[in-house]
Structure 1
Amino acid sequence: METDRKCPHRAINPATRIRTDPALNCSCTGSRMVGFPVAVVLPAGGSGERMGLSTPKQFCDFLDRPLISFTIEAFERINWIQNIVVVVAKECIDLMKTIIHKYSHKRITLVIGGQTRHRSIFNGLKVFTDSQVYDSKLTKPEVIIIHDAVRPFVEEDLLLKIATAAKDHGAAGATRPLVSTVIATTSEGCLDSSLERAKYRASEMPQAFLFDTIYQAYQQCSDCDFEYGTECLQLVLQYCGSKAKLIEGPPTLWKVKFKVFLTSAELSKCSVSESLSQKACVITGVQQDAVQLAHCLEKTLLTQLMVEVISTPVGEEVSCIQNISSKEYRNIIYVIVNDTDLQEIKQLVESIGNTSLPILYPVVVIMVHLNKSESMPFSNNMDELGAIRLLAKEAKQKNILVYGLLVNYPKDTEKWNDAVANVCLIAGTLIKDRNAVLAGQLFVA
């Protein structure tokens, strides 16, 4: 899309807008709220030139899913973000629609981008203000977050800090320490000078702004800004005098720029998943059989699968939730005896869902049902399966994978030992694989 040179802040060809229903099945986590409206613009119009790929990097598969889908979901799960505007090239509109439909993304407004980064971002902002370009506009937020579509590893804690700082200072952005020394060269290709690395930072995403501030800055941009500029924080400093508050972000903020980055991201994810599978919390009631099974699980999981187990009595789950929130582990095994009431499990899932969970590393909850009743009809197990599936469907939206595991209590000691070994094998596999497709299944040990 070309920009009118006489009026650089208005596009010649209005962008189309595709709005998904925000009221249906929003996958939100956390109980945090902010006292002002916040929205997000995700510029995703890059061509993938540096990666040497025919497919733009934001649409490349990462863990069998388009990279941009992970980035969208990272924002979609945050309940205080009202709208997510995704800006893509015109030729990628149909592909983006397919991704939105396939992965059930909600609260998405799809906008056609421009030829440059700044033009694309400005198109994304105009959906909130320009009723002449769009049939109807979204409610203008007080704070707008701008983030790269190829940075999927962003968490709510940082977004909250950035948005709050933008509200107070007019602009805010994430930074990281420089890892290399920056040097200047002469026209002959010789060293001219070097910068003192400690005085400088690498500007990263996300960045956030008071909406009126960043919009005013774009209205005043020159053609040169639109054509060659990339730094939004510099625009608001230059045209609005707003000095951005800089907040140091985590190492996971890196941007996928080259093909090798996708491989590195997948290896990183596998490495973290492996470490997350090395600790589990077993929750039991006071019934002796449940406690006995928990002790057997502790011993077997540790010796056979090298999984450290922490036992927690029912009623003291708060410590377990705290450990999950502090990222110490992501696995819970809940043992119940002859009780098909899932209310306690539901409360546990709800409590976990109110914590801030990294999107790529879901919590695993395994409900182990110890059946001591020889007369329990098979239909009861089917009823339980239906209840588990319903719970698992709701929990998956909160980044929690729920599985059921049925153990029939045999009187024979040898059979009991075999059953415990099977429970450990199945539980250990579910913890290590973290397979979302199997969530809601009832396994029999």
Structure 2
Amino acid sequence: MEPSPSGGSRPAEPGPCLRGPGGVCQATSAYSPSEVGAQPGYRVAAVLPAGGCGERMGVPTPKQFCPILERPLISYTLQALERVSWIKDIVVAVTRENMDKMEGIIQRYQHKRISLVESGVTRHRSIFNGLKALTENGSNTKPSKPEVVIIHDAVRPFVEEDVLLKVVTAAKEHGAAGAIRPLVSTVISPSADGCLDHSLERSRYKASEMPQAFLFDVIYDAYQQCSDYDLEFGTECLQLALKYCHTKAKLVEGSSDLWKVTYKQDLYAAESIIKGIISQQICIVMDTKEDKGHIGLLEEMLKNELKHINVTSRTLCHAGRDLQQIILDQCYNFVCVNVLNFDFQETQKLLKLLEDSHLSIFNPVVVVSVHFLDYNSEPFGEKMENIMQIREFSKEVKKRNILLCGLLIYYPQDKLKIQESLRQGATIIAALIKERNPGLAGQLLVA
């Protein structure tokens, strides 16, 4: 674990199969349909307070709207909740001046089951406004009153369905529940003159995290009774349920990825995690069924270079539904190997499939067009001219968040030289996929 700038903890770079530290599969609910299986037999909704100004982050844009891979942070959080089919309504509380921006995000990223309410001047007032919206009679356009409501932060994008289910189930039984994590720093109390007064025994305390869940009537009643002081200065929803409704919350051990984006450097950490998540699957697409030897060797080199990452291969002209299913499974990385032609026909077919799928709305898709070029053949200049078209193709698809690069591998060479070229090619492909640098789109690289 690496210490976070905000004093909490965050996962290290994701490992195999979206597995976080300790080997536990993490963050899948934000990027692929969940396989948790169990579902509550009662109506569940969620409220996200998103009216903050991001003062601690020190940037002019509120942190929930800060871009990660060109996409607002709050969109990732909404997607994580939307992937949970049993959360029927999601209410987002935003300031009046950001209402149009939020509506634009919902439309652009095709978010569903979202309702907007105006936020209050404090976090608790924003949550209260969201709860009020859930008391209205439900219709096709308005949310319905749930039995259990989840309260979650708009800037915690990596929440998993199993944690959500645990807090919801515990809230149904106990009236309130919240995720907790071990403290990573000792809490101390300073005296008036700035010296140490006393410290707390860290093992006896936990850090309160999100998500939290409540029987709706419990938390709504608590907010109705809440004092102005609590509405202005309070932060802990579980404490309100205890103070005003005498409901003791069940504490549920949360996963290490529940940290909150608080400071500017947290944005870079979140981006790194998201890049790691969407780099977990690579599809090699070929223009021929015939194994030319070096194609299979390139695939082997890629598997060695990108350990624990799923690498599959398909023939484009015969892939059909198979390739479409790979796209539907949210594969964001494609290596298109051209052996028989140099006019980008096969790469263009793949790009058309990707554009039609709208996959790149959510995250940038990397496509590496690989060309094996026999420099002894004629006409060499004409082939190179065709390959250089990648620059124009790249400009067009980049508008749709598809990052197209070219990779040139010369042959024939002796066995050792071609192996070294393929190894270099695999290293280049791995770097392009891991970094997802839009500045490299349109480049023709040579291995």
What is the distance in 2 between the residues matched to 1:283 and 1:385?
A: 12
What is the distance in 2 between the residues matched to 1:308 and 1:265?
A: 25
Task: Note if 1:366 corresponds to 2:334.
Answer: yes
| Equivalent position to 2:201, from 196, 202, 206 | 196
| Equivalent position to 2:33, from 6, 9, 29 | 29
1:233 match:
238
1:334 match:
313
Contact 1:334 1:368 in 2 (8 A): no
Provide the secondary structure at the position in 2 that maps to 1:175. Answer: strand
| Equivalent position to 2:164, from 156, 159, 163 | 159
Provide the secondary structure at the position in 2 that maps to 1:173. Answer: strand
Contact 2:283 2:333 in 1 (8 A): no
Q: CA deviation at 1:110?
A: 1.1
| Equivalent position to 2:183, from 178, 183, 186 | 178
What is the distance in 1 between the residues matched to 2:54 and 2:294?
A: 56
1:389 match:
355
Deviation per residue, 1:218-264 (Å, 9 max, x gap): 2222233222221111111223333222122233322233xxx2224
Task: Note if 1:428 corresponds to 2:430.
Answer: yes
1:66 match:
72
Distance 1:226 1:275, change over 3 A: closer
Provide the secondary structure at the position in 2 that maps to 1:250. Answer: coil
Contact 1:28 1:78 in 2 (8 A): no
What is the distance in 2 between the residues matched to 1:278 and 1:380?
A: 24
1:107 match:
113
What is the distance in 2 between the residues matched to 1:397 and 1:378?
A: 24
Contact 2:285 2:334 in 1 (8 A): no
Q: CA deviation at 1:177?
A: 1.5
Contact 1:333 1:367 in 2 (8 A): no
Which AA in structure 1 matches 2:159? V
Distance 1:32 1:56, change over 3 A: same
2:265 match:
263
Distance 1:383 1:185, change over 3 A: closer
2:21 match:
none
Q: CA deviation at 1:86?
A: 1.0
Distance 1:232 1:272, change over 3 A: closer
What is the distance in 2 between the residues matched to 1:409 and 1:129?
A: 66
Task: Note if 1:43 corresponds to 2:56.
Answer: no
- The worse-fitting range, judged by mean Cα deviation, of 422-431 and 242-251 is 422-431
What is the distance in 2 between the residues matched to 1:275 and 1:384?
A: 22
Contact 1:84 1:107 in 2 (8 A): yes
Q: CA deviation at 1:268?
A: 5.8
Task: Note if 1:346 corresponds to 2:342.
Answer: no
Which AA in structure 2 matches 1:247? V
What is the distance in 2 between the residues matched to 1:38 and 1:89?
A: 25
Distance 1:192 1:123, change over 3 A: same
2:101 match:
95
Distance 1:273 1:389, change over 3 A: closer
Provide the secondary structure at the position in 1 that maps to 2:165. Answer: helix
Distance 1:435 1:349, change over 3 A: farther
- The worse-fitting range, judged by mean Cα deviation, of 363-372 and 341-350 is 363-372
Count residues with an aligned counterpart: 374
Q: CA deviation at 1:27?
A: 8.9
Distance 1:438 1:186, change over 3 A: closer
Provide the secondary structure at the position in 2 that maps to 1:252. Answer: coil
1:307 match:
305
TM-score, with structure 2 as normaliser: 0.67
Provide the secondary structure at the position in 2 that maps to 1:40. Answer: strand
1:218 match:
223
Contact 1:129 1:137 in 2 (8 A): no
Contact 2:168 2:213 in 1 (8 A): yes
Distance 1:220 1:160, change over 3 A: same
What is the distance in 1 between the residues matched to 2:254 and 2:321?
A: 39
Distance 1:37 1:241, change over 3 A: same
2:252 match:
247
Distance 1:402 1:277, change over 3 A: closer
Contact 2:282 2:332 in 1 (8 A): no
What is the distance in 2 between the residues matched to 1:434 and 1:162?
A: 35
Distance 1:62 1:335, change over 3 A: closer
Provide the secondary structure at the position in 1 that maps to 2:143. Answer: coil
- The worse-fitting range, judged by mean Cα deviation, of 407-416 and 69-78 is 407-416
What is the distance in 2 between the residues matched to 1:383 and 1:50?
A: 47
What is the distance in 2 between the residues matched to 1:343 and 1:118?
A: 49
Which AA in structure 1 matches 2:93? V
What is the distance in 1 between the residues matched to 2:71 and 2:347?
A: 34
What 5-or-longer segments of structure 1 have no aligned partner? 1-25, 310-327, 354-362
Task: Note if 1:119 corresponds to 2:131.
Answer: no
Contact 2:336 2:346 in 1 (8 A): no
Which AA in structure 2 matches 1:30? S
What 5-or-longer segments of structure 2 have no aligned partner? 1-29, 378-408
Contact 2:93 2:127 in 1 (8 A): yes
Q: CA deviation at 1:82?
A: 2.0
Which AA in structure 2 matches 1:334? S
Deviation per residue, 1:29-73 (Å, 9 max, x gap): 335452333221110122333344444332334443333233223
